[in-house]
Amino acid sequence: MPETSVNPHLALLPIVLPLAAAAVGLLLLRHRPRAMALLALAAMAGGVWASWSLVSAVNAEGAPVVLHVGGWRAPFGINLVADHLGAMMALMCQSVLLAGVLYARGCRDTCVRFPVFYPLLLTLAAGLTGAMLTGDLFNFFVFAELVVISGTVLTACSDHRGGVEAAYKYFYIALVAAMALLLANGCLYAEYGTLNMADLAARIADRPDAPLAGVALGLLLVSLGIKCAAVPFHFWQPDFHTTSPTAVSAMLSSVVVKLGVYGLIRVSMLLFPHADSVSPLLVGAGVAGVAVGGLGAVGTHDLKRMLAYSTLAQIGFMLVAVGWKSGPAIAAALVFAINHALVKAAMLMLAGAVASRAPVKSASFEVVAGVGRALPGAGVLFLLGGMALAGLPPMNGFVSKLGVFRAGVDQAAWLALGALAVGSLCTFVYVARSFQRVWWESPEAAVHAKPYGDSLAAPLLLITASLALGVAPQPLLSFASDTAAWLADPAVYIDASLKGTP
Amino acid sequence: MQNVSLVSSLLFCVIGAAWAGLYAWGPVRRFASVQAWGWTLAVWSACAAGVLAYLGWGPAGLMQGDGSVLRASWPWAPGLGMAFTIHLDGLSLLMGLLVTGIGALVFGYAGHYMAGKDGAWRFMLYLALFQVSMLGLVLAGDLLMLFVFWELTTVTSYLLIAYDTRDAAARRGAFKAMVVTAGGGVALLLGFIVLSTIAGSSDLATVLGAGDAVRGHGLYGAALALVAVGAFTKSAQVPFYSWLPDGMTAPTPASAYLHSATMVKAGVYLLARLNPAMGSTEPWFYLLTGVGMATMLLGAVIGLRATDLKALLAASTISQLGVFTMLAGQDTPGAYKALAVGLLAHGLYKSALFMVAGIVDHETGTRDLRRLGGLARAMPSTLAVGTVAGLSMAGLPPLFGYLAKDALIASTTHPSLPTPVAWVLAAAVVVSGACIAAQAGILVWDTFIARPRGPAPHGHDPSWGMLLGPGIPAVLSVAVAVLALPAASQFASAAASAAYGAPVGVSLTFWKGLDVNKALGLLAMIAGLGVFVGRRVVSRVIPSGPEVLLPGVLGAMDGAARRMVRVQSGFLHTYLVVILLSGAAVVAWQGLPSPPALASLRWDEPWPALRISGCVLAAAAALAMVFMKKDIHAILALGATGLGVSLLFLVQPAPDVALVMIVADVLTIVILILALQRIPAVCRREADRLDYVESRSAYRRDGMIAVAAGLLFGLVALVVLAGRPRESVTAEWFARYAKVGAGATDVVGAILIDFRALDTLIEIAVFALAGVGVYTLMRYASPAAGDADTPSPGEATADLLHTELVRLLAKGILPLSITVAATHVIYGHAQPGDGFTAGVILTLAVAFRHVALGYERSRRSKAWMRPMPLVAIGLSLAIGSAAASYIRTGSFFGHVNYGDLIGLPLPMDAALSSSFIFELSIALAVLGGGTLVIDTLSRPRDSIAAEGRPTTWNS
């Protein structure tokens, strides 16, 4: 394998830029929200650039970019490993968070004007990206905690009255996840004497039947299941994603839940590729998620909450594909993840933009019905976003759904496919109903809509991205299938990560 | 060159759509009327039709050869096996000409129809977008590409149906059409995937060539069912048909275009398209013939009770779609001949009739057959157009519709059909033919000739431009039949051959002599006359079409959805129980270890007495914590647990861990007690009552879960212990390199500050943000949520602590703790203790000052100690120092000894190194985070009231 020619510190930039911006912003710009927003925007733009460079580097070199932090070689020090998967996920997170910061800038919530808002959004970005790039399981835990604490506080300071309660419940359940993850770390360290993921993978492959391996795997699945709101670990999600400030809920429901999906891919492809007991669990949880999320979205009475439920269903699609484990399935899950990240963030922002123009600030259908008539542009975006969620061309959602279905047909997994098809039907129902309620119904309501509200720039960017990736999907598809091919061979990750270690 | 010409018809439509979009722009709208704009759009569409005609009849066209195929392909998404392929053969040429030809007329007509209406540009744009989708569908030479355009027609038709969004019926109709056809689309997609998996490619030519493999494959049944569901939903077959009548809320030009001439035929087109690959099997025959026949009869019958012009037309369209489906199911050349002729005939007369209905509606303001009548004198030209089209629909010579009907009847009497089936088919065709003829009669007669039942509607002929829309297809119905039969025969033959998969000879003539077919046709006509005469009676006895499927499915979905939403009860307790139990199940599924033999544990560790006391202390305190009645006792017991565990660490020996554990434990206790002070006693008692007194069973259940969790942890711990001693990969390396690499004699310090510096950086960020979070919750979120005022902590402890001695201690504590902290920071690398410990010790000192001196006084005298900047400085310093290391050593977080670098001698082994700076920043961030918590919790009520709810944060 050729030595990568890029400076491996590139892998650190998407983490450190937002973190440093958060610290500096907290120090110097606490009372200058506009300057703080600009700083955040600049940091995220830098992060996007860095992660884009990572993706191109990984793509060009065909090898992971590995940074041994502080110069201490893995497994003794911590290393960051930007392989295909990590780099792709980092780029996804950074791009969506850039849009999130952009949305927050043009948003009329009270809470975005507090000095800690942008710093917390930035630490959220740092934690998320760090967790997806780190090559060390304990470091993953620490980054995940950064995500949890940032998300909790951001939700607690929401304008929504339910924010505190939702944050409290989420925090408790996240503690269960943290405990499970920590205990899994403990078990693995006790059995294998290392926490570096590459090293662990190699050692687990040597000795897969160690007494605590099963417990560790189970605990990892539980904790990652909580992180991605897999049914039945999802209870915190609808409240949490509904009550947090729009700019934040758009991040939570799009990229933050992907942390769990990412982790599950790592666990099933790198750490425990031979454990047959994982696949049925993932497929089962995915199908349950499709059912619970789809029906929940049909049954709920709030636009934001509907989108939160819809995330459960979409995560279900991804889990099913991850559970199938074949190359096309993993590639489809990744494309699906990216589509969902872009679209769900955009749709929540649109819901927020509509709610911000409603007479009472709320996303309840009773309040927002007809308000969309004052916002035809948002209607077009919402319709396109809805098409993407429902998997209709020309959006990227079609490409993702097609990929998942194809993988399913290859596996002859008819039962799961049937569930996914019914789930798709639910998607049509709730997307069309919500669109009609907000943009078509109650023509008189439009009269009462406020003339000003949250800016639509960020959702416009995100929807455009999804459209572009739907019309010209080939670059994404080929990168995703490369990713799946690399993931299928853990040795690539292990060798790159431990290269040069005595 | 051929590639370009193949795609250029689609391009003309795309340009047309862009052109339509241009009309959204105000200045353009002022410049051109809607009518004019409609005709310009018609020109684009006509150009597309012209290109197709050229490809059909031009020098290298389809009609010149032996019915071959023109193809052009570009790669699109090879990752999904999807190509952008244009596939033009007789069948797609027929459909393409319908789409573009009738499209041109509809555009011109729509301009007149929509003139003066709100947002006419929106309608034209949707219509043009629909045209692109529809043309793409029929020209697609790749199943997946076909699907893309298929779904686009669904979306554009959704928008067209609900064009008048103020109308609730339009919204309902659009929703229904969307859910039914998109739901069918899901099935179709799966069917296409199965089909292309079997054939090895989604390329149409490959699929069509793989007919034997497809029919013989085990998944043939599944593929057939899935594709059929997709086609049936789109073509409004039983039991999915009801979206089509409900979709009549679309403006009439859209109905004329989508719901008669083009989109609803997509399903039939698909079936005909795939016939060479999937047809000629018994399941295909029975499924398509059965469903098609049922649809044909249903449409024919329900149309008789319609009182709305468009509803009547919709019903006859459903019937005709049933005919097409039925024909597609039969494995005879005659059936495909009838299909091709029928598609052409129906496209011409039905679009004309829809446009006539639109004219009547536009001019008189009603489409209700009960109010219409006697318009013949006022609208003679409209009557003429309507009559020609109506006669074609009825199937009378010398109109094209007659040829279609004749071919249809001939197909049912084909000798290859099994006898009973042939009889049933023939009878059904005659019955439906009679009903359709009667419908045509009702349509023309009751609108134009019969005397109106109420006041006569007013109306007059529209402008010639508007009449051109229905006029041209009506004229073509005659002209083609009379003047161009050989050309039409060749055209239909090409289409039928492409669909049938083998050459189908077509020679259309009006009279070849009397045979059984002519007799049946005559019979149908006479019966139709009878039905028409008795239409009033008939309409009363006919039931409305059954409507079960969609309400049933949606009702079930909504019911399940309501139950599903209720599961989300809002009780954290319930959530946790479910999560913990499911989690336990997952862990158990992955396999628990078997408990080790006690003999394998080591019992000869040093200091047994200390170890045993540590264990007993921790366990007893933990039990006490559960059973203590008063919160404060429970908290103290929690502290004792922590101390017991610290004792165990200490004897391990792991002094660093023990030290951190102790300070963290004490900080926890202090924070918990301060927090407890803020919760009113009433609330605490109430919470206790609700949780444990009211619900003993919940208490027991939670107890069992806790015990189970404890057992799991215990089991894991035992297994770990039994496996000792175990060689560690990292421990030896850490011990070896701590001094060499990081200049540390304390290995733990080296791990925290150097080897795993990234962990530490993020951990202090988490700690600091936790402080920020408490601050947020208490100062901002809690007042916003309307929490009641809470008692001031100072009041409760005032008597106890406000002695002189305590005050003296409080004043002296800060310098003392700063000294201790400084030692920790400076010697973190050389001995137990580190920046974290230093930060916590300082925080505790601050807490002591707050409690002893009172919050106000404590804060006033140390105004420089502002937690938020401390947090920020700590984090910035840590990152800055790491970045400086990068500049110096090329490694972020690399170890640099700046003291040595600049030759600064430091006494007593202190070192001005990157490690020292990191320790310092840790201490600052931890102090900041901790102080944020302490400050917030010990801030008395009065100062909250005085400062009010903060709008910007100011610490």
Greater pLDDT, A314 or B453: A314
What are the chain B neighbours of A473 within 8 Å (beta carbons)? 77, 79-80
**Closest among B674, B700, B468 to B577, alpha carbons compared:** B700
d(CA B432, CA B241): 17
Tell me which residues of chain B, numbers 122 to 151, contact chain A at a CB-CB cutoff of 8 Å: 144, 147-148, 151
User: B137, B179, B562, B716: best mutation site toward chain A, by most A Cβ within 10 Å?
Assistant: B716
Q: How confident is the model at residue B947 (pLDDT cuts 50, 70, 90)?
A: very low
pLDDT at B148: 96
Rounded to whole angstroms, the Cα distance separating B235 from B285 reads 17
- Closest CB to B565: pick one of A211, A296, A433: A296
**Which among A156, A398, A401 has CB closest to B777?**
A156
Give residues with Cβ within 8 angstroms of B282, minimum separation 6.
none
Predicted confidence (pLDDT) per residue in A25-72, tens digit: 999 988 888 899 999 999 999 999 999 999 999 999 888 999 999 888
Pick from A425, A467, A501 the residue to mutate for testing the B interface (most B CBs within 10 Å): A425
Cα A501 to Cα A71, A75, A136, B715, B873, distances in angstroms: 12, 8, 15, 34, 36
The contacts of residue A76 (CB under 8 Å, 6+ apart) are: B730, B733, B734, B737, B755
Q: What angle do CA B690, B693, B694 make, to 5 degrees?
A: 60
**B588 interaction partners in chain A (CB closer than 8 Å):** 218
Residue-level pLDDT at B691: 67
Give the residue from B327, B265, B331 showing the smallest Cα distance to B98.
Answer: B265
Provide the token pair at A302: 């709030």
Minimal Cβ distance to B568: which of A123, A238, A481:
A238
- In chain B, % helix, strand, coil (3-state, to 5) comes to 75, 0, 25
- Determine whether the interchain pair B78/A474 forms a contact, defined as Cβ–Cβ distance below 8 Å: yes
Q: Å from B174 to nearest chain A CA? A: 9
Provide the number of CB pairs (under 8 Å) joining chain A to chain B.
349
- pLDDT band of residue B796 (cuts 50, 70, 90) is very low
What pLDDT does residue A75 have?
86
Q: Is A316 buried (19+), middle (13-18) or exposed (0-12) by CB count in 10 A? A: buried
Strand B70-77 with B82-88, pairing: antiparallel
> Distance (Å) from the C-alpha of residue A354 to the closest C-alpha of chain B?
18
Looking at chain A, which residue has its C-alpha nearest residue B732? A76
Q: Do A390 and B892 touch (CB under 8 A)?
A: no
Answer yes or no: do B892 and A441 touch at CB < 8 A: no
Q: Which residues contact B810 (CB under 8 A, 6 or more apart)?
A: B848, B849, B852, B853, B858
More confident residue, A25 or B60: A25
Question: b vs e for A270-293, b when ≥16 Cβ sit within 10 Å of the residue's Cβ?
Answer: bbbbebeebeebbbbbbbbbbbbb
Tell me whether B80 touches chain A (CB under 8 Å): yes
Lowest mean pLDDT among A124-138, B55-69, B416-430, B554-568: B55-69
Average pLDDT of span B943-950: 44
pLDDT 10s digits, B564-589: 888 888 888 889 999 999 999 999 99
Contacts of B564 in chain A (CB under 8 A): 291-292, 295-296, 299
- Contacts for B656-659: CB closer than 8 Å, 24+ residues apart: B656/B746, B656/B748, B656/B749, B656/B832, B656/B833, B656/B834, B657/B748, B659/B832, B659/B833, B659/B837
* pLDDT over 70 (residue B781): no
The pLDDT tens digits for B597-642 are 877 777 777 888 899 999 999 999 999 988 887 888 889 999 999 9
**Residue B60 reports pLDDT greater than 80:** no
- CB within 8 Å: B772 and A116: yes
CA angle at residue A117 from A113 to A118, to 5 degrees?
A: 100
Written as six digits, the tokens of A276 are: 């047959």
CB distance A84 to A492 below 8 Å: no
Out of B222, B587, B889, closest to residue A219 by CB: B587
Mean of the per-residue pLDDT values of chain B: 88
A320 near A278, Cβ under 8 Å?
Answer: no
**If pLDDT is split at 50, 70 and 90, which confidence band does A2 have?**
very low
| Counts for chain B of helices (H) and strands (E), in that order | 43, 2
Torsion of CA B10, B15, B18, B23, to 10 degrees: -130
Proportion of chain B above pLDDT 90, given as a percent:
55
Chain A residue nearest residue B182, CA to CA:
A428
Average pLDDT over residues B360-367: 91
- Judged by DSSP in three states, A79 sits in strand
pLDDT > 80? residue B513: no
H/E stretch holding A494 reads helix A490-498
Lowest mean pLDDT among A433-447, B209-223, B679-693, B874-888: B679-693
Residue A487: Cβ within 10 Å count: 24
Give the pLDDT score at B952. Answer: 39
The SS3 of residue B174 is helix
Q: B78 and A123: CB-CB below 8 Å?
A: no
- Give the pLDDT confidence score for residue B420 in this predicted structure: 84
Residue B295 has pLDDT above 90, yes or no: yes
Q: What pLDDT is attached to residue B775?
A: 86
Query: How many angstroms separate the CA of residue B319 from the nearest CA in chain A?
Result: 27
Query: Between these two residues, B689 and B925, which has the higher pLDDT value?
Result: B925
Report residue B955's pLDDT band, with 50, 70 and 90 as the boundaries.
very low
Residues 6+ apart with CB under 8 A from B137: B146, B149, B150, B152, B153, B266, B269
Residues 6+ apart with CB under 8 A from A481: A327, A328, A331, B79
Within 10 angstroms of residue B905's Cβ, the number of other Cβ atoms is 6
Is B30 near chain A, with CB under 8 Å?
A: no
Which amino acid, one-letter code, is at B724? R
pLDDT > 80? residue A120: yes
**Alpha carbons B595 and B329: distance in angstroms, whole number:** 67
| Separation CA B938–CA B146 (nearest Å) | 68
pLDDT band with cut points at 50, 70 and 90 for residue B354: very high
Predicted pLDDT at A1: 39
- The SS3 call for residue B83 is strand
Nearest to B931 by CA among B852, B876, B875, B859: B859
Q: 3-class secondary structure for B283-311? A: HHHHHHHHHHHHHHHHHHHHHHHCCEHHH
Host H or E run for residue B73:
strand B70-77
User: Residue B82's beta-bridge partner residues?
Assistant: B77
List the single residue in A78, A292, A409 with the smallest CB-CB distance to B758.
A78
pLDDT at B907: 67
End-to-end CA distance of chain B: 74
- How many other CB atoms sit within 10 Å of the CB of residue B931? 27
Confidence band (pLDDT; 50, 70, 90) for A187?
Answer: very high
Is the pLDDT at B162 greater than 80, yes or no? yes
B586 inside 8 A of chain A by CB: yes
Contacts of B689 (CB under 8 A, 6+ apart): none
What percent of chain B is predicted at pLDDT more than 70? 94
- Give the tens place of pLDDT for each residue, B399-408: 999 999 999 9
Q: What is the pLDDT of residue B864?
A: 77
- DSSP-derived secondary structure for A300-348: -SBHHHHHHHHHHHHHHHHHHHHHH-SHHHHHHHHHHHHHHHHHHHHHH
Average pLDDT over residues B504-513: 83
DSSP category for residue A370: T
Round to whole Å and give the CA distance between B375 and B363: 11
Residues of chain A neighbouring B118 (CB-CB closer than 8 A): none
Backbone φ, ψ for residue B735 (5° rounding) = -60, -40
Residues 868-897 of B with CB under 8 A from A: 868-869, 871-873, 875-876, 879-880, 882-883, 885-886, 889, 891-895
Cis upstream peptide for B595 (omega within 30°): no
Longest Cα pair distance anywhere in chain B, in angstroms? 128
Q: CB A405 to CB B193 under 8 A?
A: yes
3-state secondary structure of B88: strand
Nearest to A94 by CA among A133, A58, A125: A125
What CA–CA distance (Å, rounded) separates B73 from B335? Answer: 31
> What is the pLDDT averaged over residues B673-699?
77
Lowest mean pLDDT: which of A388-402, B451-465, B516-530, B757-771?
B451-465
A295 to B557: CB separation less than 8 angstroms, yes or no: yes
CB atoms under 10 Å from CB of B384, counted, come to 16
Taking residue B799's Cβ as centre, other Cβ atoms within 10 Å add up to 8
Residue B141 has phi, psi (to 5 degrees) of -110, 20
Q: Where are the beta strands (DSSP E) in B219-336?
A: none
Q: Looking at this protein, which amino acid is placed at residue B868?
A: M
pLDDT at A502: 52
Mean of pLDDT values over A390-407: 94
- Interval B2-24 mean pLDDT: 90
